[in-house]
A = this chain, B = another copy of it.
Amino acid sequence: MSDDTKFHHGDTANDLAPIVQMKDIEKHFGNIIALAGVSFDVKPGECHCLLGDNGAGKSTFIKTMSGVHKPTKGEIYFEGKPLHFDTPRDAMEAGIATVFQDLAMIPLMSVTRNFFMGREPTKGKSLFKRFDVEQANDVCMEEMRKMGINLRGPDQAVGTLSGGERQTVAIARAVYFGAKILILDEPTSALGVRQTSNVLATIDRVRNQGIGVVFISHNVRHALAVGDRFTVLNRGKTLGTATRGEITPEELQDLMAGGQEMAQLEGSLGGTV
């Protein structure tokens, strides 16, 4: 857990003020300390990768950012002002969209209903204001197609989708509603190669629109392909932040493994897993 020289704190790729800044976040679950003081920020138009071993606290950390957990200690600044999100809805209304690792989908509900859950498009006025199902269906099918999935129909229950199809719904939803910050917790884990490359391309596109992206992944190659900055967590603490180009894949991979040695295969894994 040495402070690798290639790592340096605070120096960022651009000089814009961060949208969200998290300072010394701690989070305890009963007697378990999941986060022991993590600082982190996201700037507009950058993709900030959050990396780390299993159980390092990545998901817990982004959940405090999106209003699911209240931090035990630490401060959150949103566009410079201290802020606490009481519910995920607050965070969402502030412009933060998240793909959670568990996807936050309701298996019994249809794809469209899941896609628009909490933010249904309406038509008609006052008492006749109603859920615009046709438009919702169209939008949903179209967004899924953009990600490389041709759904059979917008009314298929999410519970009967394949793992990757389901994950794509969650990603498409977050991208569609992501206003200022898009948080993606291992978005590509269940995706096929084509869908993965679409997601990476999508990250690139939204970043260029000035949205800040937080990208969690275990895949070094994916992280390096789209990331501008890389923060590595280890056992609830941050190991530091590196900027793109400053660090080689092998170094990053070592850091992500928490400094521990990896098993060697006779097969040709060729450096990075």
Binding site for B on A (CB under 8 A): 29, 32, 52-56, 58-60, 101-102, 148-149, 152, 160-165, 168, 186, 189-198, 200-201, 204, 218-222, 224-226, 253, 256-258, 260, 262-270, 272-273
Contacts and interface: CB of A to CB of B under 8 A. Distances in A.
A150 B56 CA distance: 12
Contacts of A56: 192
A196 B260 CA distance: 13
A220 B197 CA distance: 13
A195 B200 CA distance: 24
A194 B53 contact: yes
B265 A225 contact: yes
Given A192-B257, A262-B197, A54 B269 contact: no
B218 A165 contact: no
* Number of chain copies forming the complex: 2
Contacts of A164: 53-55, 218
A269 B194 CA distance: 13
B204 A186 contact: no
A258 B186 CA distance: 23
Contact of A101 (B163, B218, B226, B268): B163
B54 A190 contact: yes
A75 to B, nearest CB: 24
Nearest to A200: B265
Most chain B beta carbons < 10 A, residue from A60, A160, A198, A262: A262
B269 A59 contact: no
B193 A253 contact: yes
A160 B165 CA distance: 25
Contacts of A258: 194
Contacts of A201: 263-265
A143 to B, nearest CB: 15
Contact of A163 (B102, B165, B221): B102
A256 B101 contact: no
A2 to B, nearest CB: 17
Contacts of A260: 148, 194
